[in-house]
Amino acid sequence: MPTPQRVSTIPVAPGALPVLGHLPAFLRDPLAFLRTLPAHGSLVTIRLGSVPVVLVCDPELVRTMLVHDRVFDKGGPLFDRLREAGGQGLATCPAHEHRRQRRLVQPAFRAGRFPDYARIMSERMDAIISGWRAGQTLDVTTAIRGIAADVVVSAIFGSRLDPADHHRLVTDFDTLLAGFSMHTLLPRALRGIRTPGNVRYLEATDRVRRTMTRLTAEYRRRGTPDGETNLLSLLMAARDPDSDAPALSDDELVDQAVTMYSAGTETTAGAISWALYLADAHPEVRARLTEEARTVLPGRAAGWDDVPRLPYTRQVLLEAIRMYPPGWFLTRRTETDTHLGRHAVHQGTTIAYSPYLIGRLPGLYERPDHFDPERWRTEDGRKPRVPATVFGGGARKCVGDEFSLLEGTLLLSTLVARWDMELDRDTVTVPKIPQLTLSPGRLRATLRTPARRPVAG
């Protein structure tokens, strides 16, 4: 990285308290707190308790950081906690290990695999949504998370889980998500105290790991049926080019299974829930989204061949992701003394960036607080770009970004084509302390059968 001609001291955000630093403001309303920081510079130091964190507020500097992933490696408190359940999977492993893992995992996400994944998604969505009934009231966020989890499990293991295992995984991941932010911010000494919250969090972390270990071992013993291809079978078949031995150990397979389950479930479910919530608040968007889905999908689940005819659905999804990105606050750790812009950054510094903050910058997006799916429309029929930093960047850009967007497009269009949802907006409970992913919390809705479309002629 080139050394700039001028080096300046990184400013410290005002309002730090003795001992606690900026932690009370961060916990009280983290999203509002983050949005105050760009006024103090492109890089700003905040103190979360005793831990100083340098927040990058400039999108170009965020891009620089993401591109130079060996200098700004994945680390810091957030990734320390993620590794407790996910081990050294593709999303959490250090840079020196990433290239090998990426090379092994990438074939599972090649474009040629997506029609098969879309078939799995469509079948599982249809099976679950068809069981809903008019007049039923449900928590949309929970229901969508359950569908996404079912789809991802089918894509990983090629079959449905035993209902007890499925329920256990969903419940344990809910516990992890609920306690993640607090557990990340607590000092090490306090994390070890056996409070009820700490015990629930640690036991859920352990169970997730043990459940995925058992399921992976059972899959290996059972073997892959002839003609069946899924994510786990592709990883098990990968061979070391030098020895022809399995490229991934059993522990590494579990790491990847946990990573794919958590990423494929929470990110997609959150994005769809926000899309429904935001579209409901903008009747013109809701009407256009519904018209597209019901024209393309007359009474059936969306499939692979429908995707090119659902451009507005993807636009709505992308705009929801821009405004409420699943990964809202992410950390890195510098591996050497370096510079970022005109600032010196020392080895061992915890660096953070917020896709939520970047997505709300007026210099990057016009009227950034306005929900406008049209900003993602393309004139030439090509897929629109993805919101800046939402899926990372550089060599570590999320390998499953298109998998997630495909799942989101199919599920969102299927939901609005099949049902009119009367959202009870008073039930939305956005957590005061956002979880690992940014979710709208409870979102209750009553299902209504769509009015019949008039028959032409």
3-state secondary structure 310-365: CHHHHHHHHHHHHHCCCCCCEEEEECCCEEECCEEECCCCEEEECHHHHHCCCCCC
What percent of the chain is modeled with pLDDT above 90? Answer: 43
The pLDDT score that the predictor gives to residue 284 is 97
Q: Model confidence over 157-180: pLDDT tens digits? A: 776 678 888 788 888 888 887 777
Distance CA 334, CA 11 (A): 18
Report how far Cα 58 is from the mean position of its chain's Cα atoms. Answer: 22
What average pLDDT does range 291-314 have in this prediction? Answer: 95
The pLDDT score that the predictor gives to residue 122 is 94
The pLDDT score that the predictor gives to residue 56 is 97
Structure tokens at 31: 């999203």
Q: Model confidence over 328-358: pLDDT tens digits? A: 999 999 999 999 999 999 999 999 999 999 9
Distance CA 92, CA 86 (A): 7
What average pLDDT does range 439-448 have in this prediction? Answer: 88
> Per-residue confidence at 4, pLDDT binned at 50, 70, 90?
very low
Residue 108 has pLDDT above 60, yes or no: yes
The pLDDT score that the predictor gives to residue 457 is 42
The pLDDT score that the predictor gives to residue 187 is 67
> 2 versus 91: which is more confidently predicted?
91
What average pLDDT does range 132-138 have in this prediction? Answer: 95
> 218 versus 15: which is more confidently predicted?
15
> 267 versus 293: which is more confidently predicted?
293
Q: Model confidence over 407-442: pLDDT tens digits? A: 999 999 999 999 999 998 777 766 556 677 888 878
Q: How many CB atoms lie within 10 A of CB 19?
A: 9
Residue with the two structure tokens 């020196």: 96
Distance CA 135, CA 422 (A): 10
Kind and range of the H or E run holding 179? helix 163-185
What average pLDDT does range 146-151 have in this prediction? Answer: 87
What average pLDDT does range 77-81 have in this prediction? Answer: 76
* Residues contacting 453, CB < 8 A, separation 6+: 294
With 0-12 / 13-18 / 19 or more C-beta atoms within 10 angstroms meaning exposed / middle / buried, residue 73 is: buried
CA distances in angstroms from 220 to 163, 224, 225, 254, 262, listed in the order given? 20, 8, 11, 12, 21
Average pLDDT over the chain, rounded to an integer: 86
Most confident of 196-205, 213-222, 354-363, 383-392: 354-363
Q: What is the DSSP string of 384-398?
A: PPPPTTTT--GGGS-
Distance CA 309, CA 311 (A): 6
Please give the backbone phi and psi of residue 337, each rounded to the nearest 5 degrees, phi first.
-65, 135
With 0-12 / 13-18 / 19 or more C-beta atoms within 10 angstroms meaning exposed / middle / buried, residue 327 is: buried
Q: 140-144, 218-222, 272-276, 388-392: which range is least confident on average?
A: 218-222
Closest among 235, 228, 237, 223 to 260, alpha carbons compared? 235
The pLDDT score that the predictor gives to residue 1 is 53
What average pLDDT does range 176-198 have in this prediction? Answer: 73
The pLDDT score that the predictor gives to residue 11 is 94
Q: Model confidence over 29-62: pLDDT tens digits? A: 899 999 999 999 999 999 988 889 999 999 999 9
The pLDDT score that the predictor gives to residue 367 is 94
What average pLDDT does range 146-154 have in this prediction? Answer: 86
Residue 186 has pLDDT above 80, yes or no: no
Q: 16-25, 128-137, 197-206: which range is least confident on average?
A: 197-206
The pLDDT score that the predictor gives to residue 429 is 66
Residue with the two structure tokens 């209504």: 448
The pLDDT score that the predictor gives to residue 424 is 86
Residue with the two structure tokens 């056996």: 194
> 359 versus 152: which is more confidently predicted?
359
Residue 455 has pLDDT above 50, yes or no: no
Q: Model confidence over 361-372: pLDDT tens digits? A: 988 899 999 999
Distance CA 244, CA 161 (A): 31
> Per-residue confidence at 305, pLDDT binned at 50, 70, 90?
very high
What average pLDDT does range 221-237 have in this prediction? Answer: 74
> Per-residue confidence at 77, pLDDT binned at 50, 70, 90?
confident
Residue 237 has pLDDT above 90, yes or no: no
Residue 16 has pLDDT above 70, yes or no: yes
The pLDDT score that the predictor gives to residue 430 is 64
